[in-house]
Amino acid sequence: MAKSDRLFRLLTALRMLPQPVTAARLAEETGVSERTLYRDIDSLRAGGALIDGAAGVGYTLTEDPALPPQMFTRLEVEALVLGLAEVRMAGDPALARAAQAAMAKIAATLPERVQRHAIHAVSQTYRYEKRPVVPAHMDMIREACWDERMLDITYADNNGDVTRRRIWPLSVVFLDRTLMLLAWCSLRQGFRRFHLHRMSEVTAAEAHFRPRRVPLLREFLAQMRDNPRL
């Protein structure tokens, strides 16, 4: 592994793991020996990172040179912590990991006083009811939305009737008890809401609908405001 890649992974681990974090834990997280880890810690310090601690004690990243300083009010910090905690609980595994990484990066850029507000936030979230298991094709759907790529899906409707459809995925919606996909359906020639757990055999088509996702989504949302039963 290139040294630059190792240092990037080490910074990410220092941001995300509960601190102080031991050299053994950092070495395990970054896939290097403890001897290499100590050299990488010295390299980060030489590059401007303020890392407190020592071998046998553990390490704490107190100033991160790779990220610009951020300033939030105490209430803004509460909103960030609460929102990202909700994503960690409600999102699929990839989205939950991204929320954890985002919170670590944000916290690493905060002044020490504000950082304490983030670590010991007043607002918390908890869900007694868990959502159904996120389907395996969630990543493909998200990528298709970003890339504006059409999807071919097998879908079972409310009556249990199964059809094969080509759709233009526009947005994933996280509801209280389910996940839905807003899309244009080529079969029905109109906007439709698809329950993700009723979708199967999801494959990415070669065709794109770029650059129509944003205007189509705006039109769909406008129609939903005018007709909530759409």
Does 3-63 match 138-226 in CATH topology? no
With both helix axes pointing from N to C terminus, report the angle between 23-30 and 3-16 in degrees, rounded to the nearest 10: 130
What's the pLDDT at 189?
A: 93
Domain boundaries, the chain: 3-63, 74-119, 138-226
Question: Is the separation of the CB atoms in 198 and 156 below 8 Å?
Answer: yes
Residue 49: CA count within 13 A, CB half-sphere = 24
Is 3-63 CATH 1.10.760.10? no
Alpha helices by DSSP H, listed for the chain, are 3-16, 23-30, 34-46, 74-90, 93-108, 112-119, 138-147, 213-226
Block means of pLDDT (10 residues each) for the chain, length 230 residues? Answer: 81 82 88 90 85 83 66 83 86 85 82 78 77 83 94 92 95 87 94 93 93 91 79
Q: Residue 125: its pLDDT value, please? A: 80
The DSSP output letter for 73 is -
In this prediction, residue 194 carries a pLDDT of 95
Tally: H helices and E strands in the chain:
8, 7
Of residues 112, 152, 156, 129, the one with CA closest to residue 19:
112
- At residue 67, the pLDDT reads 58
pLDDT of residue 140: 93
Dihedral sign for Cα atoms in the order 151, 218, 79, 13: positive
Pick the CATH number of 138-226 from 2.30.30, 2.40.360, 1.10.3470, 1.10.260: 2.30.30
Q: pTM (2 decimals)?
A: 0.65
pLDDT, position 196: 93
Give me the pLDDT at residue 66, please. 63
pLDDT for 156 equals 93
Cα–Cα distances in angstroms (integers) from residue 142 to residues 34, 36, 87, 153, 165, in the given order: 38, 37, 15, 14, 18
Task: State residue 182's pLDDT score.
Answer: 96
